[in-house]
Amino acid sequence: MLADRRKLFAIAGGLALVLAGVVWYAGTTSTGTLRVLVKDAPAEWAHVNVTFSEVRVHRANASEESGWHSLALETTTIDFIELGNLTKVLALDRVPAGKYTQIRIVVAKVEGTFADGERVTLTVPDGILKTTTPFDLPGGGEATLTLDFDLSRSILDNASGWTFKPVLGSIQVS
């Protein structure tokens, strides 16, 4: 009878240790590095300087408020014509590992220069580029998002002047 009680206490103690380990593990958060790159094929402008003010990503299954993570900007203004078909780091930061389902990029202003040297400020109606391309960020690992802006579809000439409505040609996740 005493041996059965000792066995029962040993099993209960072992289960308590396992449960404590599971609770501890579930409470830890792993992070990974997320790099956001931008690129574009040249349009018919001498310069198109796009100034970004924020890049945010939203974690899957998180609330609208707590799920957003702002990334540190590496570059705020990028001349997409000078960039050509190369890529440039827009944001690079460590964020919690996991699945992400949304990306938002805030465009603060856009200034363009025509081939003849005339400069114009383009209106940015919404100012936010939103995409729902899902990606996974592994714990301790990296993910790179390459956003290929389509300038020929992003720049519009209308009755009130030039407008910039960012259009992505493609998004590559690696």
Domain span at residue 90?
A: 30-173
Tell me if 73 is assigned to some domain: yes
Tell me if 161 is assigned to some domain: yes
Tell me if 71 is assigned to some domain: yes
Distances from the Cα of 122 to the Cα of 43, 118, 119, 131, 169, angstroms: 15, 13, 10, 22, 20
Distance CA 95, CA 60 (A): 13
Tell me if 159 is assigned to some domain: yes
Distance CA 172, CA 145 (A): 6
pLDDT in tens, the chain (174 residues): 444 434 333 433 443 333 344 334 445 579 888 888 876 655 578 999 999 999 999 999 888 888 999 999 887 899 988 888 788 999 999 999 999 999 999 999 999 999 889 999 999 988 898 989 999 999 999 999 998 888 888 899 988 899 999 888 778 888
Supply the pLDDT for residue 109.
94
For the chain, how many structural domains are there in total?
1
- This prediction has a pTM of 0.74
Supply the pLDDT for residue 84.
80
Tell me if 19 is assigned to some domain: no
